[in-house]
Structure 1
Amino acid sequence: VSEEERATGLRAGIAAHWHVVPNGVDPGRFSPAPADSTGTATAGDTSRGPLVVCVGRLCRQKGQDVLLRAWGPVAERVPGARLVLVGDGPDHDRLRDLAPPSVAFTGAVADPLPWYRAADVVVLPSRWEGMALAPLEAMACARPVVVADVGGARESLPPALAARCL
């Protein structure tokens, strides 16, 4: 899945012939919004400020709690900024309790594509990843991404951007 996962296996003493086969996305499905589309049907009113989207299972691994702790200062400095957590999971209630009013929760969605296209930036604050799909899907939709500096998330970025992980 990722070079980081391969290295973890080697450190654990798993002796095998390894080939890393990274995740990919279907560029026919995950692509930029058509030029005549505003990309805001899902996100609402664009006059309110930038839209930050985090797509993933709501669980400790994905680090949405870290994002919510960082969101307060962002919301104070950027008027109208909105954060949408797309997904569901065991931490839903706990995260909702942490979230300020500028954060929305969609629950599980059948297709994250409209959210990627509507986003001004897609964020993945994971604590660990094998090979993160959300940044790959977002970049295929021509959306900028911010990821935590963990193996599979870092490896999802083009080499020139990998040094810009948080």
Structure 2
Amino acid sequence: MTSTIIQLVPEQARRLPVAALGPGLPAHLPKMRWSGLLQFWRRPKSRPFRIWHARRNVEMLPGILLRDALRMPLRLVFTSASQRRHTGYTRWLIGRMDAVIATSARSGAYLTVPHTVIHHGIDLARFRPHPGGAPAARTEVGLDSARRTVGCFGRVRHQKGTDLFVEAMIALLPHHSGWQAVVAGRATAEHVAFETELKRRVAAAGLSDRILFVGEHRDIERWYRALDLFVAPQRWEGFGLTPMEAMSCGVPVVAADVGVFSDVVTDGCGTIVPPDDLPALAAAIEPFLDDEPSRAQAADAALAKARAEFALAREADEIIAVYERLWASA
């Protein structure tokens, strides 16, 4: 959620005055101090009220207090990414919003109030294919440029299905000598033992030179460009940006049916498999390792869909349309 806000707010700021509020925000974001809340008693010059856009319970509650207890001229918007039944307290908070956004149809199915489905977008200028192709991108990040590469990016932990990816690679790579695998992401302290065990399994299989753990990278787009196939094996996901980022770099995707993945990986862009199903995951990956023409066709379809549907500007426009409907209703 935080990464989506970091990308979205500057895009929104190109269209209307917007500021983020909260701890630990990056320096480049337009933001306000807590003391700035005092100005909320005054209506903005060009609008009948301000909009307080919350993404968490702890953000909805202050908005309710500012609007209802302190009588500030505000309207409240909430974005829900959760794909589980909300608690009674959360339903109470959501019921007091003036507008609700769901990040996917699946998350919207758990809402009991009217809502608008708006998928997240990504920065297509950042996530794009390498002009020299994947082999050139592999050279830039220090990978073997001659081997095609399949990747799995994100936090290294059980929920993300990193073990499913590693086990699939242990089963498949001995039969596909022209391929290598990359795991990019950080294992936080409580998951270091999990990562250590995965590395032990890789070493026991004699594949430490072909299943690589490269850690966390802030320039992750460079690693996407080095891929020929991306795998998203999550057991659970609220939304999940990684398939969108991969497709925007011209990479087809094999993904578990969680989060928004089944809405994203369509139209020949890859394959969706049941979550937590290792045999199905391996079976979906292998055709891409065997059939280069089909893989290339899926890569083209992935890139075309990303350029048509995944733009961050599209998300910003759709959210602002929700704001405009609230302002018009006044």
Partner in structure 1 of residue 141 of structure 2: 42
Query: In terms of Rg, which structure is larger?
Result: 2
Residues 122, 244 of structure 2: 8 Å contact kept = yes
Does the alignment pair 1:31 with 2:128? yes
SS in 2 for 1:165: strand
User: Relative to structure 2, which stretch is displaced further, 35-44 or 117-126?
Assistant: 35-44
Contact 2:152 2:165 in 1 (8 A): no
For residue 124 of structure 1, report the CA deviation from its aligned partner: 0.6
Equivalence map 1:15-164=2 (5 Å): 15-35=112-132, 38-40=136-138, 41-47=140-146, 49-89=147-187, 90=191, 91-99=194-202, 100-101=207-208, 102-158=210-266, 160-161=267-268, 164=271
Shift of 1:97: 2.6
SS of residue matched to 1:60: coil
**SS of residue in 2 equivalent to 1:164:** strand
TM-score (norm 2): 0.45
* Unpaired segments ≥5 residues, structure 2: 1-102, 274-330
Contact 2:253/2:270 (8 A) holds in 1: no
Whichever structure has more helix as a proportion of its residues is: 2
Alignment pair present for 1:3 and 2:105: yes
SS in 2 for 1:28: coil
What is the CA deviation profile of residues 121-160 of structure 1, one whole-angstrom value per residue up to 9, with x for unaligned ones?
11111112222211101111111111112242222223x2
Secondary structure at 1:39's aligned position in 2?
helix
Distance in 2 between the 1:163 and 1:32 partners? Answer: 17
Q: CA contact under 8 A between 2:253 and 2:271: conserved in structure 1?
A: no
- Check conservation: 1:54, 1:85, Cα contact below 8 A: yes
Is the Cα contact below 8 Å between 1:62 and 1:128 reproduced in 2? Answer: yes
CA contact (8 A) 1:65 1:98 kept: no
CA contact (8 A) 2:151 2:182 kept: yes
Q: Between 26-35 and 143-152, report the one with greater CA deviation.
A: 143-152
Q: Distance in 1 between matches of 2:236 and 2:201?
A: 21
Using the alignment, how far apart are the partners of 1:65 and 1:36 within structure 2? Answer: 29
Task: Sort the Cα spacing of 1:79 and 1:36 in 2 relative to 1 into closer, same or farther, 3 A.
Answer: closer
TM-score (norm 1): 0.85
- Structure 1 distance, partners of 2:238, 2:195, is 22
In structure 2, give the amino acid aligned to 1:145: V
Deviations 1:65-121 (A, max 9, x none): 111111122111101421110001223223223334121111111121111000111
Deviation at 1:163, TM superposition (A): 8.3
Q: Secondary structure at the match of 2:137?
A: coil
Q: Which runs of 4+ in 1 moved over 4 A?
A: none
User: Relative to structure 1, is the Cα distance of residues 94 and 26 closer, same or farther in structure 2, using a 3 angstrom cutoff?
Assistant: same
Q: Which runs of 5+ in 1 are unaligned?
A: none
Which fold has the larger relative contact order, with Cα–Cα distance below 8 Å and residues 6 or more apart in sequence?
A: 1
